[in-house]
């Protein structure tokens, strides 16, 4: 290398050192400290005002204040975290050793962002707490009358059996029915066209129709038709028919997406062995299609469970209808809250499970 090139390299290195300074994140740590301090004050004010309200309502003083101390202490910990971040930052500024200073600066930034995010969460919780107690705790009284929730629980859970029944029967019917529709929609060639068209019209129609209207039309319409058998079914059966028709349309789309996601080379390979179209579907395509669509199928399944509550509109005594009766007798919606809690308890674990499945699927695809 000649001299001028060497000098240029030295120059370049000096430039880099000059540019690559230590960052101490002083402003960020100050902002974090201010936000956490404000949050601490907000939490304290909220706790004091709620505690006073509860004592006035007849709760005993000691436990209320002790319970109130918990959020205050927690938000104080966040303030302490922000203070620690500020200390890291000032150490970073005064440190003579570059690498150590960088590490401290990074720590200060990380800690600041963490405290800011905790503060925001605390503020949101404060807002919710205020919402519950304003106007003489109107919100809590209307929705969370513990006494009524407990009293209505047994009756509502019994009525929930109807929802479970409707769900279980229609889920099985839907899985079969939707596969039939999906296969009809993917029939090949000119000969398949009429069936394909009918299947498309069906799935467009029932995906376009709000489920509640389908249920209403079938639940009240079929008995009026005077058709043998169909006019004498129970309201549960009408609900099952309506939900199967509606969800069959959605689920057939899920199946179809699965079928179409199988690479055409798989069809070529199967047909090349002399397998007929239907055997190719049966042994090669559908088994692969089903694997990929378990998460979306589960999502539909969760959605179906929730929509069993729609059958209340045709007078089926399901959990929702039962709780509405209790609610009107007591002039308080807390019985409906019981239903809400049941649905949430049942669906959230499933939703988490689906997320797990999707995550597992994704990581498998990444590694493979």
Partner 1 sequence: MALVEIDKAYKHYGSVSVLNGLSLNIEEHQVVCLIGPSGCGKSTLLRCINRLETIQKGEIRLHGDRITGPGVDLDVLRREIGIVFQGYNLFPHMSVIENITLGPLKVLGMDRSEARDKGMALLSRIGLAHKADEFPDRLSGGQQQRVAIVRALMMDPALLLLDEITSALDPELVSEVLDIVRDLAAKGMTMVLATHEMGFAREVADKVCFLQEGVVYEEGPPSQIFGNPQGERTKAFLKRIIDAGRL
Binding residues for partner 1 (CB under 8 A): 265-266, 268-276, 279, 283-284, 287-288, 291, 368
Pick 34 or 276: Cβ nearer partner 1:
276
Pick 91 or 271: Cβ nearer partner 1:
271
**Could you tell me the smallest distance in angstroms from the CB atom of residue 266 to partner 1?**
6
Residue 191 DSSP one-character state: T
Pick 23 or 271: Cβ nearer partner 1:
271
Residue 194 CB-half CA count within 13 A = 1
**Could you tell me the smallest distance in angstroms from the CB atom of residue 276 to partner 1?**
6
- Spell out a b/e string for 160-176, using b for 16 or more CB atoms within 10 Å of the CB, else e: bebbeebbebbbebbbe
**Could you tell me the smallest distance in angstroms from the CB atom of residue 368 to partner 1?**
7
Let me know the angle formed at the C-alpha of 268 by 186 and 259, rounded to the nearest 5 degrees: 30
Let me know the angle formed at the C-alpha of 148 by 144 and 150, rounded to the nearest 5 degrees: 95
Cα separation, 18 vs 179, whole angstroms: 67
Pick 94 or 367: Cβ nearer partner 1:
367
Cα separation, 300 vs 303, whole angstroms: 5
Pick 266 or 328: Cβ nearer partner 1:
266
**Could you tell me the smallest distance in angstroms from the CB atom of residue 294 to partner 1?**
13
**Could you tell me the smallest distance in angstroms from the CB atom of residue 366 to partner 1?**
14
Q: In a 3-state reduction of DSSP, which class is residue 60?
A: coil
Pick 165 or 294: Cβ nearer partner 1:
294
**Could you tell me the smallest distance in angstroms from the CB atom of residue 272 to partner 1?**
5
Residue 297 C-alpha from the chain's centroid: 15
- Spell out a b/e string for 289-321, using b for 16 or more CB atoms within 10 Å of the CB, else e: beeebbbbbbbbbbebbebbbbbbbbebebbbb
Pick 159 or 284: Cβ nearer partner 1:
284
**Could you tell me the smallest distance in angstroms from the CB atom of residue 283 to partner 1?**
6
- The pair of three-digit structure tokens given for residue 146, joined into one six-digit string: 């513990």
């Amino acid at each position: 290398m000649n001299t001028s090139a060497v000098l240029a390299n030295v120059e370049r290195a000096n430039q880099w050192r000059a540019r690559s300074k230590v960052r101490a994140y002083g402003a960020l740590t100050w902002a974090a400290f201010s936000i956490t301090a404000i949050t601490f004050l907000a939490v304290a004010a909220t706790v004091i005002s709620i505690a006073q309200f509860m004592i006035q309502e007849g709760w005993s003083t000691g436990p209320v204040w002790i319970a109130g101390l918990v959020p205050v202490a927690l938000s104080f910990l966040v303030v302490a975290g922000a203070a620690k971040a500020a200390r890291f930052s000032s150490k970073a500024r005064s440190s003579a050793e570059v690498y150590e200073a960088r590490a401290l600066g990074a720590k200060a930034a990380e800690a600041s962002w963490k405290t800011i995010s905790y503060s925001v969460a605390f503020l949101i919780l404060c807002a919710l707490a205020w919402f519950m107690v304003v106007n003489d705790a109107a919100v809590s009284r209307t929705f969370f009358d513990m006494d009524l929730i407990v009293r209505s629980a047994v009756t509502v859970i019994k009525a929930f059996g109807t929802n479970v029944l409707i769900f279980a029967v229609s889920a099985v019917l839907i899985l079969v029915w939707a596969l039939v529709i999906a296969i009809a929609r993917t029939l090949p060639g000119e000969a398949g066209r009429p069936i394909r068209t009918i299947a498309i019209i069906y799935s467009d129609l029932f995906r376009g129709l709000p489920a509640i209207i389908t249920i209403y039309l079938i639940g009240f319409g079929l008995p009026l038709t005077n058709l043998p058998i169909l006019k004498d079914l129970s309201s549960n059966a009408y609900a099952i028919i309506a939900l199967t028709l509606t969800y069959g349309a959605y689920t057939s789309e899920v199946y179809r997406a699965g079928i179409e996601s199988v690479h055409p080379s798989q069809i070529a390979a199967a047909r090349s062995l002399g397998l007929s179209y239907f055997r190719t579907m049966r042994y090669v395509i559908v088994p692969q299609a089903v694997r990929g669509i378990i998460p979306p199928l589960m999502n539909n399944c969760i959605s179906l469970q929730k929509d069993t509550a729609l059958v209340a509109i045709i007078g089926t005594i399901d959990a929702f209808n039962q709780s509405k009766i209790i609610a009107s007798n007591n002039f308080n919606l807390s019985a409906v809250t019981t239903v809400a809690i049941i649905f949430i308890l049942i669906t959230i674990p499933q939703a988490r499970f689906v997320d797990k499945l999707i995550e597992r699927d994704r990581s498998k695809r990444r590694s493979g």
